[in-house]
Amino acid sequence: MRIAIVNDTVMVVETLRRLVTSVPGYDIAWVAYDGKSAITYCARDTPDLILMDMIMPEVDGVEATRVIMQQSPCAILIVTADIKKNSAKVFEAMGYGALDVVSTPIMGISEDETLNQALLKTIVSIGIVIGRLNPKRSSTRSGSSSDKSALNKSSYPPRQLPPLIVIGASTGGPKALARVLSELPPNFEASIVIIQHVDVQFSSGLAKWLDEQTPLSVVLACEGDRLREGKVLLAGTNDHLVLRPNLKLTYTKEPQDYPYRPSIDVFCESVAQSWSRRGIAVLLTGMGRDGAIGLKKLRRRGWHTIAQNQQSCVVYGMPKAAIEMEAAIEVLSLSEIASTLVKRVTHIP
């Protein structure tokens, strides 16, 4: 896999170079010390993955990400030294197409192996998603399991359950989610669960940022939470969020080798097993195929399923996979999704 480094600090560049080249099969495509150079280099030689710094002179990581994803798109991983301070920029960059974010690793006497391993692990996950690395497993995941598990549904009468909306997103997701949530009314009567591919260290900041974009309450989903009307729950760890038959939320590490964490498919499958009322499932912009299987399973259960259209996606991978699998009943632009949710939520049987 060919990896490019964009960072204005020589020591960080050398740290990243050393880490990347320590793994067989990883090569350095090029190095840029500012965003402007990165845009030029990427247009000439598009790598498989860019390790992008956030704070740089002239053109920062947000603007570089935006231009690169428009002109010569490729996988981009944000590598930043101060996650909390740069959280707003991080979410903006993810809105333009950055896949994930990790802390800048440290080398030398104070070497932090935890940060180093976190970076390498994320590179592996991205490599699998973009098809440059093979997952060390022969099957897809439990999403293709038999529908017999639906017998575990709760005994609650459907009408005693709130209307449920499940939204899955990945690359470009934060900005798309903000757009949808901002257009929902304050008295929206559905419960909403969001599965966004984002590392645990950013999930709390993302929940707070989304909460500022909507009249609804957006919080992280916690162990034991129940789904409530008018409340938006965001998956908040690197484990998979699932709904148990007792209708309480929990987190699980399984499947451990699945590259998408938290997984949209895993959550949708648990909903199909445990939630007796129909609902609405939406698959937004994202790289890869996560969510397509889950959307199809929910459609088979009578759910209304929606995929974002190509024109309004930052990356069309996930919605495209769902459409090709005939998992989506409707294909809508981002501007149409909120109004459709408002119209359809009162008609959920």
Stretch 306-323: mean pLDDT:
95
Stretch 180-184: mean pLDDT:
96
> Which token pair is 314?
């930052």
Asked if omega into 255 is within 30° of 0 (cis), the reply is yes
Per annotation, catalytic residue among 60, 100, 265, 290: 290
Q: Which amino acid is at 315?
A: V
Q: Is it the case that residue 281 has pLDDT exceeding 50? A: yes
DSSP character for 54? S
The per-residue pLDDT for range 2-15, each reduced to its tens digit, is: 999 999 999 999 99
Burial 224-252, CB ≥16 within 10 A → b, else e: ebebeebbbbbbbbbbbbbbeeebebbbe
Say how many Å lie between the first and final Cα of the chain, rounded. Answer: 49
Stretch 247-270: mean pLDDT:
92
Stretch 21-50: mean pLDDT:
96
DSSP character for 18? H
Burial 143-168, CB ≥16 within 10 A → b, else e: beeeeeeeeebbeeeeeebbbbbbbb
Active site residue 72: no
**What local confidence, expressed as pLDDT, does residue 148 receive?**
41
Q: Is it the case that residue 141 has pLDDT exceeding 50? A: no
For residue 192, which of 224, 157, 221, 150 has the smallest C-alpha distance? 221
**What local confidence, expressed as pLDDT, does residue 147 receive?**
42
Q: Is it the case that residue 136 has pLDDT exceeding 60? A: no
> Which token pair is 285?
């912009």
**What local confidence, expressed as pLDDT, does residue 218 receive?**
96
**What local confidence, expressed as pLDDT, does residue 56 receive?**
92
> Which token pair is 137?
């497993």
- Quick count: other Cβ atoms within 10 Å of Cβ 13? 19
**What local confidence, expressed as pLDDT, does residue 139 receive?**
37
The per-residue pLDDT for range 287-307, each reduced to its tens digit, is: 889 999 999 999 999 999 999
> Which token pair is 166?
């499940």
Query: What residues contact residue 145 under an 8 Å CB cut-off, 6+ apart?
Result: 269
Active site residue 170: yes
For the chain, give me the number of helices (H) and strands (E)?
A: 11, 14
Per annotation, catalytic residue among 37, 87, 125, 170: 170
**What local confidence, expressed as pLDDT, does residue 250 receive?**
97
Q: Where are the beta strands (DSSP E) in 235-329?
A: 240-243, 249-252, 280-283, 304-308
Stretch 202-223: mean pLDDT:
92
> Which token pair is 344?
């359809």
- Contact between residue 52 and residue 6 where contact means Cβ atoms under 8 Å apart: yes
Per annotation, catalytic residue among 60, 100, 154, 197: 197
Confidence bin at 166 (pLDDT 50/70/90): very high
- Domains, the chain, with CATH or none: 2-129 (3.40.50.2300), 146-345 (3.40.50.180)
Q: Is it the case that residue 171 has pLDDT exceeding 70? A: yes
- What is the Cα–Cα distance from 80 to 90, expressed in whole angstroms? 9
For residue 341, which of 187, 174, 188 has the smallest C-alpha distance? 188
Stretch 148-166: mean pLDDT:
66
